[in-house]
């Protein structure tokens, strides 16, 4: 059964458009050669194709991979870059049709690649806030900052329902609670795409499906679960995103019971396009088809026939184009499938109004003054306030006394890069305060409140003086990571075991560590807390992390303990809550484990703190 036959009677790409939009799509399709159609199905990275190559090969889309940014990296630089690609895509001559390209980016917590952007808490923090109105404000600012860069498409929201905290992408998941992810997914798409007018950005629900369900939380691993469980836990957010009109969906790297999603006709065509009636385009993840087969031509055929429409090919786009053409000419990929894929891509372009919009340099929001503005940062600061979860407050150490001399210490105290986590300027995040401009570190936020704050950069705060420092704030936790490089893996046996069912191959990355225990990952944090406790200085521990960690000894050593997740560029939001300007309202979006055997989330029997837990200052 082929993808374009719509086996389950759901809507087709054609039903999804108005009659006049459909006829525009049909008209373009009828004028396109096979080369033009195949080019339209190809997306590559900005570093891999110049505008003249885009025109020569009729490429339909360009992306900036995480951390890939033009020289200068201001919104104006982005607009100029996108404008050059747009101009090439719109050239009309005997060989080329003027079909505007789509430019896609990973704006997953604000437009996080661009210099001076407002960077929001990662999704896990927004999940802790559990506040739909806040999420709508976050999405509205994100949308404006994407448009300011002259870009029309973000690969967000991630609607993974993460189960095992060893997964390095746990922080991209709002929660282990399907209902929360479903509500948020719907809301984020609704706010981003809006009525598809000027003030709108194309969303992408990702990664379809089961990315958060892999055994041992191995990134790109195998989701070993029944269809009933897959449907109950991981499908609802996609359904909600489709109900909200999401225009694009990204296939997931992982496999389901051994079969890769990128080559899964049942998942992509029968379920997503058929049963759920998704009429938009399915994009493959970064070289995601490469792992289907050692034979690239075969991998292309498997994925196109399964239902992938647009192919994210980081560099080898010429090979992809040649391989897809060979597949069509030799009968392995029916032309009906090509026509369906191109119709879906053109359908997204028509529906978003891409053909009618001015060039990026002339769009109303391009290089807009609101980018990185105080008003935008205020929304991010509010998101930070609402995302913090108070786990302990012995002796009412919080709120902080602003008349006291407070020692601020810990590796993450004065480090905006660490606060932002992965996917912030660079794919794996950054270190220090210089690259992420316009924000404030947690230390800067605290020192704005009180002239009595002092920063210690000594790893053990050896300069702490119990006679002067009435209390300390220690900012501890993880350092930035992204994707598989954030995985926690006890040994490679686990990987072999978890991947052994997978048909095809698996990309294996160096993990972040071997344990979920903070004391093993970062023993220096416990040493710092114990050093302060040894001097009799009561300490508030602020944990920066992309997931719940096992922190029993750190909790015991600190008088107060705050899970701050990855709060982003606005460290002032942390200070607002510490000083009691606003109360703690965040609640755990994932159960907090007492030991490593307490994960995965849905298997947690005796968590230290259940999902939904969180203290307030007013009791």
- Active-site amino acid positions: 285, 483
CB of residue 282 vs ligand BGC: minimum separation in angstroms? 13
Residue of minimal Cβ distance to ligand BGC = 155
CB of residue 285 vs ligand BGC: minimum separation in angstroms? 5
Q: For residue 360, count other CB atoms closer than 10 A to its CB.
A: 25
106 versus 454: smaller Cβ distance to ligand BGC: 106
B/e letters for 207-226, b = 16+ CB within 10 Å, e = fewer, are bbbbbbbbbbbbbbbbbbbe
Q: Cis omega (within 30 of 0) on the bond before 400?
A: no
CB of residue 103 vs ligand BGC: minimum separation in angstroms? 12
Candidate list 285, 309, 382, 454; residue touching ligand BGC; CB under 6 A: 285
If one asks whether residue 77 binds ligand BGC (CB under 6 A), the answer comes out as: no
Q: Cis omega (within 30 of 0) on the bond before 399?
A: yes
Touching ligand BGC, residues 382-441 (CB under 6 A): none
Which residues are CB-contacts of 464 (< 8 A; sequence separation ≥ 6)? 407, 409, 456, 472, 531, 532, 535, 537
CB of residue 163 vs ligand BGC: minimum separation in angstroms? 18
Chain centre distance of CA 376: 20
CB of residue 491 vs ligand BGC: minimum separation in angstroms? 24
Q: CA–CA separation, 458 vs 11, rounded Å?
A: 62
507 versus 520: smaller Cβ distance to ligand BGC: 507
Is residue 254 within 8 Å of residue 220, measured between CB atoms?
Answer: yes
286 versus 561: smaller Cβ distance to ligand BGC: 286
C-alpha torsion sign, points 489, 423, 210, 501: negative
153 versus 352: smaller Cβ distance to ligand BGC: 153
Candidate list 77, 83, 106, 309; residue touching ligand BGC; CB under 6 A: 106
Q: How many CA atoms lie within 13 A of 526 on its CB side?
A: 14
Touching ligand BGC, residues 172-211 (CB under 6 A): 206
Which residues are CB-contacts of 141 (< 8 A; sequence separation ≥ 6)? 110, 118, 120, 376, 379, 380
Rounded-to-10 torsion of CA 557, 559, 564, 569: -100
CB of residue 287 vs ligand BGC: minimum separation in angstroms? 8
Candidate list 57, 78, 165, 286; residue touching ligand BGC; CB under 6 A: 286
Helix (H) or strand (E) holding 281: strand 281-283
> What token pair was written down for 268?
């992509």
If one asks whether residue 155 binds ligand BGC (CB under 6 A), the answer comes out as: yes
Q: For residue 375, count other CB atoms closer than 10 A to its CB.
A: 10
- Sheet hosting strand 259-260, strand order edge to edge: 222-223, 255-256, 259-260
Touching ligand BGC, residues 51-70 (CB under 6 A): 65-66
Q: CA–CA separation, 619 vs 617, rounded Å?
A: 5
R_g (Cα) of the chain, nearest Å = 24
426 versus 483: smaller Cβ distance to ligand BGC: 483
Q: Binding-site residue total for ligand BGC (CB under 6 A)?
A: 8
CB of residue 292 vs ligand BGC: minimum separation in angstroms? 16
4 versus 172: smaller Cβ distance to ligand BGC: 172
CB of residue 451 vs ligand BGC: minimum separation in angstroms? 44
If one asks whether residue 157 binds ligand BGC (CB under 6 A), the answer comes out as: no
Rounded to 5 degrees, φ, ψ at 469 are -95, 110
64 versus 440: smaller Cβ distance to ligand BGC: 64
**Burial class of residue 292 in the structure, from the number of CB atoms within 10 Å of its CB (0-12 exposed, 13-18 middle, 19+ buried):** buried
- For ligand BGC, what does the binding mask look like between residues 9 and 48, x meaning CB under 6 A? ----------------------------------------
SS3 of residue 311 by DSSP: strand
160 versus 464: smaller Cβ distance to ligand BGC: 160
Which residues contact ligand BGC (rule: CB under 6 A)?
Answer: 65-66, 106, 155, 206, 285-286, 483
């Amino acid at each position: 059964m082929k993808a374009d036959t719509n086996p389950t009677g759901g809507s087709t790409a054609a039903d999804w458009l108005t009659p006049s939009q459909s006829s525009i799509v049909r008209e373009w399709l009828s004028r396109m050669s096979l080369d033009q159609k195949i080019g339209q199905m190809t997306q590559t990275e900005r570093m891999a194709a110049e505008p003249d190559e885009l025109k020569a090969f009729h490429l339909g889309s360009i992306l900036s991979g995480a951390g890939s940014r033009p020289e200068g990296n201001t919104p104006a630089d982005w607009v100029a870059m996108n404008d050059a690609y747009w101009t090439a895509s719109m050239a009309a001559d005997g060989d080329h049709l003027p079909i505007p390209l789509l430019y896609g980016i990973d704006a997953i917590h604000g437009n996080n690649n661009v210099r001076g952007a407002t960077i929001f808490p990662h999704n896990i923090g927004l999940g802790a806030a559990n506040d739909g109105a806040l999420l709508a404000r976050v999405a509205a600012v994100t949308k404006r900052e994407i448009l300011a860069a002259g870009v029309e498409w973000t690969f967000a929201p991630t609607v993974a329902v993460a189960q095992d905290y060893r997964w390095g992408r746990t922080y991209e998941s709002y929660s282990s609670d399907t209902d929360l992810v479903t509500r948020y997914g719907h809301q984020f798409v609704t706010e981003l795409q809006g009525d598809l007018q000027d003030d709108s950005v194309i969303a992408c629900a990702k990664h379809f499906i089961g990315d958060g369900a892999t055994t041992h939380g191995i990134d790109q691993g195998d989701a070993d679960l029944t269809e009933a469980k897959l449907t109950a836990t991981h499908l609802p957010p996609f359904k909600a995103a489709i109900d909200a009109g999401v225009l694009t969906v990204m296939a997931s790297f992982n496999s389901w019971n051994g079969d890769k999603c990128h080559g899964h006709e049942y998942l992509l065509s029968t379920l997503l396009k058929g049963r759920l009636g998704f009429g938009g385009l399915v994009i493959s993840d970064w070289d995601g088809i490469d792992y289907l087969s050692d034979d690239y031509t075969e991998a292309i055929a498997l994925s196109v026939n399964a239902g992938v429409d647009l192919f994210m090919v980081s560099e080898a786009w010429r090979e992809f184009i040649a391989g897809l053409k060979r597949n069509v000419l030799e009968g392995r990929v029916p032309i009906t499938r090509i026509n369906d894929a191109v119709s879906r891509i053109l359908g997204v372009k028509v529906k978003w109004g891409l053909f009618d919009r001015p060039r990026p340099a002339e769009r109303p929001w391009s290089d807009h003054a609101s980018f990185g503005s105080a008003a935008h940062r205020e929304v991010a600061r509010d998101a930070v306030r609402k995302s913090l979860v108070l786990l302990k407050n012995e002796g009412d150490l919080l709120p902080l006394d602003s008349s006291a001399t407070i020692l601020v210490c810990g590796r993450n105290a004065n480090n905006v890069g660490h606060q932002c986590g992965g996917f912030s300027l660079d794919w794996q995040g950054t270190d220090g305060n210089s690259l992420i401009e316009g924000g404030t570190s947690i230390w800067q936020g605290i020192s704005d409140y009180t002239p009595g704050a002092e920063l210690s950069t000594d790893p053990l705060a050896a300069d702490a003086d119990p006679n002067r420092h009435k209390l300390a704030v220690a900012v501890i936790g993880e350092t930035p990571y992204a994707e598989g490089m954030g995985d926690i893996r006890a040994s490679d046996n686990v990987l072999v075991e978890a991947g052994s069912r997978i048909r095809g191959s698996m990309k294996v990355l160096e993990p972040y560590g071997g344990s979920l225990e903070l004391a093993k990952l970062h023993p220096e944090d416990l040493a710092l807390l114990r050093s302060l406790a040894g001097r009799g200085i009561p300490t508030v521990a602020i944990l920066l992390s992309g997931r719940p960690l096992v922190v029993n000894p750190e909790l015991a050593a600190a008088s107060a303990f705050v899970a701050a997740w990855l709060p982003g560029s606005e460290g002032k939001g942390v200070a607002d809550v510490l000083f009691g300007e606003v109360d703690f309202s965040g609640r755990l979006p994932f159960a907090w484990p007492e030991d490593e055997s307490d994960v995965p989330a849905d298997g947690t029997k005796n968590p230290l703190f259940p999902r939904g837990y969180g203290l307030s200052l007013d009791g």
